[in-house]
Amino acid sequence: MRVLVTGGAGFIGSHLVERLLGEGHAVRVLDDFSTGRRENLASAKPGAALEVVTGDIRDARAVASAVAGVEAIFHEAALVSVPRSVESPEISCDINAHGTARVFDAARRAGIRRLVFASSAAVYGETARGPVSEREPVRPLSPYGVDKLYTEHLAALYHALYGVETVPLRYFNVFGPRQDPSSAYSGVISIFVSRLLAGDPITIHGDGKQTRDFVYVADVVEANMRAMFSPYPGPSPLNVARGDHTTLNALATMLGEILGVTPQIIGGPARAGDIRHSVADITAIRSALGYEPKWTVASGLKALVTSLRPV
């Protein structure tokens, strides 16, 4: 199949590209390299069916030409930081809502069969402590969450009005190799691992009792492949997670054990827009796609550490 991966030079996108190429698909990447990096695609062998186009999903012309000739789309491009969206809601809206609308419309015009895209657990907002299913009410706490929710509604509309199959995947907290640790907006595991490896202290925002459902990137790639190649046409969203929770304090302890260090922890203020508890019910994706997470948090952390510090 010929597929487009927006955000394909980013963390999750590049793992998806690698898997698609490995299974013999022809892949075009559209990325503006705002956080993505060419090195993330370096494992593509010379002569691999990979084409990389530099462009912005907010640019309708760039999107239309990236969509030309492909049969299906994985849409990963976004401004991914929740706190960054709180600081700059207009930029989040521009990229995450309007940019995604451009991608959907290009898909409609080009007669794309199926579009699988990255939504987020951020759509739920504050939930009770237990696992959250897709039927739970959605009350996002951040501009990022609102923008992702908008894209889910738009996807349902494109499905109903124009017959584009749209599958929203609500990723929980994804981690693994190539997640960029370099900014204060980066994912917590990438920050913690890089700081601990450098012998630096880590900051825990709030009391550290907040929970996240950390899922290893290979499981997220598997969910995407199933979402694209199974009969499930959407548009109901599906949680992508492990289905169990880890507190930030427990994460710091686990990483200390894996790295053989005692983490020095600095207490920081709780972040605005931060969700307290986040854990998924994954019954729906199990039954729709036969998805089963293969990686535990510990095995994923060990693989991540090995990739950064080969033994």
Residues that bind ligand UD1 in the complex, under the rule CB under 6 A: 80-82, 120-122, 171-173, 185-188, 191, 203-205, 210, 212, 248, 271, 274, 278
Pick 104 or 172: Cβ nearer ligand UD1: 172
Q: Least distance (Å) from ligand UD1 to the CB of residue 119?
A: 8
Residue 258: which residues within 8 A CB-CB, separation 6 or more?
Answer: 298, 301, 302, 305
Residue 82 binds which entry of ligand UD1, ligand NAD, none, CB below 5-8 Å type-dependent? ligand UD1
Residue 246 binds which entry of ligand NAD, ligand UD1, none, CB below 5-8 Å type-dependent? none
CA angle 186, 190, 191 (to 5 degrees): 70
Site for ligand NAD contains 58 (CB under 6 A)? yes
β pairing state of 246-247 and 211-212? antiparallel
Of 38, 37, 36, 43, nearest to 20 by C-alpha is 43
- Residues 24-53 binding ligand NAD (CB under 6 A) are 31-36
Site for ligand NAD contains 154 (CB under 6 A)? no
Pick 182 or 261: Cβ nearer ligand NAD: 182
Contact between 224 and 74 (Cβ < 8 Å) = yes
Residues pairing with 115 in the sheet: 73, 166
Residue 150 binds which entry of ligand UD1, ligand NAD, none, CB below 5-8 Å type-dependent? none
**DSSP reduced 3-state for 290:** coil
Q: Least distance (Å) from ligand NAD to the CB of residue 99?
A: 5
For the annotated catalytic residues, the residue numbers are: 144
- 85, 92, 173, 278: which one binds ligand NAD (CB under 6 A): 173
Pick 142 or 166: Cβ nearer ligand UD1: 142
Question: Rounded CA gap, 33 and 37, in Å?
Answer: 6
Question: Rounded CA gap, 232 and 217, in Å?
Answer: 22
- 57, 82, 115, 221: which one binds ligand NAD (CB under 6 A): 57
| b/e 202-232 (16+ beta carbons within 10 angstroms → b) | bebbeeeebbbbbbbbbbbbbbbbbbbeeeb
Pick 187 or 293: Cβ nearer ligand NAD: 187
Alpha helices, DSSP H, located in the chain: 11-22, 60-67, 82-87, 89-92, 100-110, 143-162, 188-197, 217-229, 248-259, 283-289, 297-308
Residue 118 binds which entry of ligand UD1, ligand NAD, none, CB below 5-8 Å type-dependent? ligand NAD
Site for ligand NAD contains 77 (CB under 6 A)? yes
Question: Rounded CA gap, 82 and 92, in Å?
Answer: 9
Site for ligand NAD contains 99 (CB under 6 A)? yes
- Residues 185-224 binding ligand NAD (CB under 6 A) are 187
- 95, 196, 252, 289: which one binds ligand NAD (CB under 6 A): 95
- 5, 174, 202, 238: which one binds ligand NAD (CB under 6 A): 174
Contact between 86 and 136 (Cβ < 8 Å) = no
Pick 165 or 180: Cβ nearer ligand NAD: 180
The residues that touch ligand NAD, with contacts defined as CB under 6 A, are 7, 9-13, 31-36, 56-58, 76-80, 95, 99, 118, 120, 171, 173-174, 187
